[in-house]
Each structure stands twice: as structure tokens, then as C-alpha cells.
Structure 1
Amino acid sequence: MGFDDMTNSKTVIEDCTFEYQCPKTWRALLKTNVASIRFCDSCERNVYLSSSTDEAWENAEQGRCVAVPVELTTASRQKLEIPHVVGMMGPPPKRAKNFQDRNQGGNAVKPLFFGLDGCKAGWFVVGIDQAGEFQFSVLSKFEAITQFLEQAKLILVDIPIGLPWQGQKTRLCDTAARKALSPRGSSVFSVPARSALAMPSYQEGSEENRRQLNRKLSKQSWAIAPKIKEVDEYMRNVMPGEKVREMHPEVAFWALNGKTGLNHKKKDQAGIDERLDILLRHYPGADECFRWAREQYLIKEVATDDILDAMVGAVTAMQYPRLSTLPAMPMLDEERLPMEMVYYSDF
């Protein structure tokens, strides 16, 4: 989220020290669009509170101590021993790399482990290489993952791949996931039949689903039907095999958390912090990846939970081959696509 997207506030507390200004104070100050300087007792230097992202980078390039308004995880707040989230002092990190950038050696960084999640702009993808370097981007079409197939060890996608049909009305992976995530099993929704995806309207799709599976479609299922269809057609036509597999982000977080349920919903700030803390246990670059991705894309393009869901896919893929599936022996659907969910398993 850029500075201009922050909520305005009329309350500005000018007389508190820099470290202890609350987020609302910070945002109100930035909304004035006037760069301000505050003395920081911690580093004993002037801190430049920039009124725009570009201005922050310019100050950093001049070697100035810059305050960047980024959200920090609970672990980060405890480490810094500050009671309120204010920002990050010191020059900000280098700009994030997308999949077209080059590293210092002049060779393209080639991630091996990928996580994808659908977003309003298309598909948000995170890639991590063997050394832990990350890249991210937005793909307008799912078929664009073809560019990664040769180099990838594993691409995990938050979308149903194997689909139920009249002969197998329930995916066993969904049943197992709901049981594992109980009492938050409602995050696993019922998957539509393949024939329902071809219907032009929700009413017709829901009725076709009832004919095939004896149940109507939820509005939530229908909302992502175009993306399910997009992935289904890709999997059947391109046949990438076991390089592209399904994961459910909440199952992935559950597994990375020692098969222990999470305490907070993913859209709450406490839930965001909780999930970032889990990712940091398995991948030290998680905090930077999340922060840079959140800064680069508008929420209307890529939601915060889209970033986290793609990240947990990539971090889970990094655990290869220490992976298992729900269920342990997945069934195949009519098109011989596995009905499974991949997750980390520390055997």
C-alpha cells in the first residue's frame, strides 16, 4: 500500500518522540505531503519522514536515515522493543526484483519453487531460488506459468485442480482439509463439477452442479469458477504433470505451524502477523518479500491475503521433497488429474 492509500486522520501529535508516534499520527503527518525531519534518540540522527515513496528512495540514496511506513510483524515489534508500529529506521532495502530483473552477475535469477494465488489483476506469483532469493510478479493469464516449467522443481497453486463428478461427488482432500482445520474448516469450500464451469450464469451453473453432485453451488465457488476453469483447461491441454500441483493456503499454514491450527482470521492484522511469523520460521526472507510486494501493488490489484497465500505456496514448495498430500493416496478425477492438497510434512 502506497502512502497515498493510507487513511487520513486529523489528529497529529507533534510533541511525542519519533519512536513512539502511533500509526494514525504517522499517517496524518504523511498526508500533509510535506517532508518532515525528526531526531531519533535511538540512532542519534535526523530521520527523514518522506511524503511519498519516491521521496523516501531519494533520501535513502543520499545516505540519509529514512523512516519508511511499513507494517511490521509481531516478532519484529518485539525485537525492536517499540509499543507501536511506526516504520523502519535506516535506509530501506533494495527495490524488489520482478521476473525480468537481473542479478549483479548479469544472469537471470531462476527460482525453483513457486506459489500462485488468484488475484483481481490475474495471478500473483512468488518464486524462490535455491539460495533463498525471491521474485514476484502478476501474471494476467495462468498459461504464463509455462515460462517457469523447465526450471521449476514445483509450482503450488491455490486453486482446485482435480474436480468432482457424478461418479465421485466429494473430493476426499476437501473432507480431510476441513477435519484438519476444524473449527475453521469453512475456509475449504465445495468444488464445482467440471460441467458446471461451462455454464454462462450462476443460476445455470448451480443447477448443473445439482444435477451432477446433488448440491447447488455457493456464490463463493462461482466467484472463482473462471479461474478454476482456466487452470483446468491448462492442466488438461499442457499436461505439466507433477510440476504443477494444488495446495490450500490454510492447510499449508497449518502444516508449517506443526499441524496446529491458527488463532486468527487471515484478513485481520493479527492473522497477517500470525501467518508472517509462521513463514519466517521456514524462510527468513518472508518479511521482506511481503513488505516489498505490498508496496508494489495496489490492494485493488493484489489483496494482502493473496500475497500471503502465494508466499505460503512458495515456502511449502521449498520443503520439497518433504511433502505429503491430503489424502495420503489421492484419487484421480475423470481427466486423470489428482484430487489432492500438497503440504509440508516433517516425517
Structure 2
Amino acid sequence: MTSRALQRLWEWLCSAPGALPLEQRRSYEVIAQTFVLASLGHLLFACVLIGLQIPLLIVLNLACVATNTAALMFHRRLQLNRAMSVKLTATLLLITLSVWWIGPDAGFEYYFFLLLCEMLISDMAARYKIAVSAVIGSVALATLLMAPHFTPWMLEAAAFRKDIRLTNLVMVFLILGLILWRLHAITERCEHHFRRDATYDYLTKVLNRRAIFHEAEMLWQQERDFTLLLLDADHFKQVNDTHGHTAGDEVLRHLAYIVRGALREDDRLGRVGGEEFLIVFPDSTREEVLSVASRIRRCLADQPCQLETLTLPVTFSMGMAAAKEVTSLQALIDMADRRLYRAKSAGRDQLVMSDLEIIGPAAVL
């Protein structure tokens, strides 16, 4: 129960808004998780400082938790530059004061590199990155050059300086490792979405035009025997004109669902046009293709598309072409297209198997 609540809280804090484009979601989620991880790091470091009895740094670390929380809220409102500016300002102040109060050999300088890493992986504009990187570099250089010339304000921390340095080193590696791990995980997820969007039709969730033709091209290059079946929904324009495009989209989803359920395990289905679908049958016989076409027709007859109280029966005109009939892939596609057009001309709800053979719905069923 607790783990589920924490997971929901993590998703609420770090998940990108639904309206955000996919190409920006990776950076948004990485930076949001950086704010959360930085807050947890400051809390953990505050616990270490309690053991070392350095109260002022405890207060500063807790203040950084508050500023990271504020930055995360700005980030959730897509005020990205303001969020990063708040986080960087507070952290730079903490690092600088820590170096001055404890000394330049306590390991706080490591956090300058961590800040620079956070800036570079963000999705900020290039000019913003350059400006902020210059600020981080200038503050780091000034702090490290001037600190050795002054006596640390917290001399009582000298006895713990080695412990603090080791703690800082461990914390930097821990936070940096977590950031890079989350960056990798989020990048993998976004790449999966990109590959999915590049392969599948957004509406019907079947292969898109490029992907289904790629399947056919791979089979052709492998010189395998395969068959194409091109399907076109009959009178689909009337559905859009009469009931609207929303109803048309539901019909297309229903058609894809029906066809997908009628296929064999190795068959591939793609949407190649508005209401056109293409099935690729690897290593298939004429009888197997005819059997699939029969199942599609039977399922469409038994399960018409239902939209609340509205029933929209739809049929397919089909054109079939086998690879062994032609000498090129383009000729194969053109043949399937010609036969589909002939099925339309013959009265629709027809399957043209060859130039001399047309099979009507009664024959297939």
C-alpha cells in the first residue's frame, strides 16, 4: 500500500503533462526527477551533518530542499527557465558558503560539476545554457581561487573535514549515478515511443504504410513466396458524410480489430490509406488466403460496428496478388491495387483472386 502511494506520488511529481510533445517529454521528466533526487540528496546530507554537528549547513541544506520543491512546482507549470534558475541559484549559494565556511578541501567543489551536468542535459535554449554555464564556471573559479586566502569561518569543522570530503564525494557519485540511470531509463522509454510512432498507425494501432511495405520488401528480398491482400472499406465516405469523422474513426478501429483477429500468427496487417488495409501473407497458399478472407467477411457480418444505439455494417472489397505472378515488388503492389479496383467496379464486397476470378460474399462464406 505504501509503495503504491509512493509510486503515484513519484508519477505525479515527475510525469510530463499529456499536452507536452513527445520530443520534449524526455528532458522534462529528467529535470523533474533531478529536482526530486536533489531534494532527497539534501535531506540525506542534512542527516549526515546532524551527526557531524554542523547546524548552519543543516539549515542551508533544508533551505535547498525548499527551493528544489519550489523549482519543481515552477517546472510542473512549464516555467522551465525559472525553475532551473531557482534551483541553480540556491545550490550555487550553498556550495559557495560551504567552501568558505569549512574550507576548499572539504569536497564541496565537486557539486559545481554536478550543476554543470544538470544544465547540459536540460532542454533549455542554447543561449540560456551558455549564459548559466558561464555563471557556474565564474562562481566556481572565484570561489576556489579566493577561498585558500581566507581562514574558514567554521574552524570546529576542521576535525571532520576528511569525513565531509568523503561524504561529498560519495553524494556526488550517488546523485550523478541516479541522474544518469534515470536519463537512460527515460531515454529508452521515449525511444520506444518514437519507434512505435514511426511503425504503427496512430488510429488503428496496426502497422503504418511505410512499415507494412517494408515487411513486403523484406520478404521480396529474401525471395520468399508470399501473397498480398489489399482491402478497402466499401462506402466509407458515406459513413463520414452521414455520421461524422468521429464515427468514421470508430469504424476504422473496428475494422482493424476484426481483420487482426482473423489473421494467422505470422501474417502482417497495415493501414496504407484512409480506409485501405494491406495484409502480407508469408509462405501462404491460395486456400489459406481465401480462408482468412472468409473469416474477415464472416466476422464483419456477425460483428458490425456498434456506436451506442447506431449499427454501422461495413464490408470490404479485396484484391489479391501472389509474388510468383510478377517480377518486381512494385508490380505486385500494382496488381493487388488493380484487382481491388476491379472488385469495387464489380459491385463491392467482392474478392478478386486473379484477373479471371471474382469471388462474391456468398461464395466465400
Q: Whose helix proportion is higher, 1 or 2?
A: 2
Question: Which category of TM-score, normalised to the shorter sequence, fits these structures?
Answer: under 0.3
TM-score (norm 1): 0.20
TM-score (norm 2): 0.19
